[in-house]
Amino acid sequence: MSSIGSRVEETGTLIRDGGGFALRRDIGGRWKLDMHRVPVDHVEKRVRISGIIVADRLIDVDALGPDFPTI
């Protein structure tokens, strides 16, 4: 995984994680997500997120949306 302060863009499945949310990454592993809105429409669906790593395994998310496969 990248270091704190790095910008990341990841794809995976958005899941509930305790009182928050996490991304189950396509390449394995999991990120906890710090988000400024509740993405209820995307829970248990494939998404693409981008943001800044702010702590070990924690991303401050600035964009989240559906992931559409490239053709």
Contact between residue 35 and residue 21 where contact means Cβ atoms under 8 Å apart: yes
At 14, which amino acid appears?
L
Residue 70 has pLDDT above 70, yes or no: no
Radius of gyration of the chain (CA): 11
What is the average pLDDT score of the chain? 93
Domains of the chain: 7-66 (2.40.50.500)
Percent of the residues in the chain that have a pLDDT greater than 90, as a whole number: 82
- Report the C-alpha gap between 4 and 52 in whole angstroms: 8
Res. 40 pLDDT band, cuts 50 70 90: confident
Model's pTM, two decimal places?
0.89
Task: Match 């496969």 to its residue by tokens.
Answer: 69
